[in-house]
Structure 1
């Protein structure tokens, strides 16, 4: 399964999620951000690659719909509701991501 994690700048939340899941043999994982300043900017290619997309906030889903209306059609997009309050690999963030994502995998 190809999994894409999205946040704003791809520095803390989505990068943490990618790190958590990247070494699982049954998943391919990438992360990206929606902002111009993102470490890795989300692209149409990322969206088409993904079987499931996890976004940290509703605004990220809306940005995907606005910028990639054709690519996002028929894609499973899950809003995790993880606010931008954490740093990279913060234990509370890790716990929240696992609790929200694991049921889908």
Structure 2
């Protein structure tokens, strides 16, 4: 990502990244994502990736590895799960945080 600030004499975006500003709303989103991640780890899930401020402007996203823990707990915590067979992703929302995982392949 290049600089979003227009510096005099700068002809092209610089290669450095602007520091993030931690507003109260951003801190709250990151805290909620961390809380959900801790709950999922306690249930035996492994967090593969986190995006507290996704580009689509939606809620934070946690990508998990279901492993041997299965999906029943996730469906219970989120109330339901949505499956997209085209992308191979299943997802639910837990306390305002999107949780996504790969669909297990049937053997």
TM-score, normalised relative to structure 2: 0.28
More helix per residue = 1
Higher alpha-carbon Rg: 2
TM-score, normalised relative to structure 1: 0.28
